[in-house]
Structure 1
């Protein structure tokens, strides 16, 4: 059971994990041990609430395919177990990120004092630049 929030959790059966050989440097260990993790999670077929599903499918994330499958490849660590934990943690973070609702932005205007300060600085800067001109005899 993977916990997403207080009232949302996922069954282990919903997540498919396969172990593959990692890429990159590592010598003999990389060549003979399948320590990287390939995690697949089908959003549409999951037990997540509809709110989470809609938000996840709307995300513009390269890890989510057109079919609604999240694919995460974890190969940071040398051991299978650490890579497995890393992949699950990244999945949970992605789902939690989709679940957070951003506050609606209320457009504001600058205050009268801030506009006055801005104009004073502009005038001051203009005076400095005008003093850099050629001196007339």
Structure 2
């Protein structure tokens, strides 16, 4: 079984916003000043159409109603590391959707299986009834 080719994001399609806000009392201002917001428009991207549809249908809080993925990163001191982390999280999100879901097994019993079950039941009840007559 071979794996499908990995969907690779084009870094040119990703929009970055550097957040430069002063930290509140006691907050590390360097971390806040290196925070990054990644904005990725699903409709304008070069992703395959099936992947775009599955991304939109995904119930993730990072995806807005108009089809824009917003990922925030501010754990590192440098902006480059925060960008790399946000891009990695976006890639993981796309990878999770890139593989089509497996078709589910039918959960309701088919007509044929219902009939087989009923026939088996009636045969068992006839055998039981015959036994009680013989011993009684």
TM-score normalised by L of structure 2: 0.64
Structure 2, gaps ≥5 residues long? 108-136
User: Does the alignment pair 1:29 with 2:30?
Assistant: yes
Structure 1, gaps ≥5 residues long? 108-137
Q: Which residue of 2 aligns with 1:79?
A: 78
Counterparts of 1:78 and 1:58 in 2: how far apart (Å)? 34
- Give the aligned CA root-mean-square deviation in angstroms: 2.6
Q: Which of the two has higher C-alpha Rg?
A: 2
Counterparts of 1:51 and 1:28 in 2: how far apart (Å)? 42
Counterparts of 2:96 and 2:65 in 1: how far apart (Å)? 19
1:77/1:48 CA distance change after superposition, 3 Å: same
1:27/1:34 CA distance change after superposition, 3 Å: closer
Q: Which residue of 2 aligns with 1:39?
A: 38
- Summarize deviations over 1:69-121 as a string: whole Å, max 9, x none: 000001111211111111000000001111123334435xxxxxxxxxxxxxx
Q: Which residue of 1 aligns with 2:10?
A: 11
Q: Which residue of 1 aligns with 2:127?
A: none
**May I ask how many residue pairs the two structures share in their alignment?**
103
